[in-house]
A and B are shown apart, each in its own frame.
Chain A
Amino acid sequence: QKEVEQDPGPLSVPEGAIVSLNCTYSNSAFQYFMWYRQYSRKGPELLMYTYSSGNKEDGRFTAQVDKSSKYISLFIRDSQPSDSATYLCAMRRVDFGNEKLTFGTGTRLTIIP
Chain B
Amino acid sequence: NAGVTQTPKFQVLKTGQSMTLQCAQDMNHNSMYWYRQDPGMGLRLIYYSASEGTTDKGEVPNGYNVSRLNKREFSLRLESAAPSQTSVYFCASSELGTASLTFGSGTRLTVV
Contact = CB atoms under 8 A, between A and B. Distances in A.
Main secondary structure on chain A at its contact with chain B? Answer: strand
12 contacts: A42-B105, A43-B103, A49-B99, A88-B42, A88-B43, A90-B99, A92-B99, A101-B99, A103-B43, A104-B42, A105-B40, A105-B41
Contacts of B105: 41-43
Interface string A26-63: 00000010100000011111100100000000000000
Contacts, number: 44
A42 B104 CA distance: 8
Given A101-B45, A105-B40, A45 B99 contact: no
Interface string B64-90: 000000000000000000000000001
Interface of A: 6, 8, 32, 34, 41-46, 49, 88, 90, 92, 98-99, 101, 103-106
Interface in B30-84: 40-43, 45, 56
Contact of B103 (A45, A92, A104): A45
Interface residues of B, number: 18
A41 B106 contact: yes
A105 B42 contact: yes
Interface centre among A43, A90, A105 (most CB of B within 10 A): A43
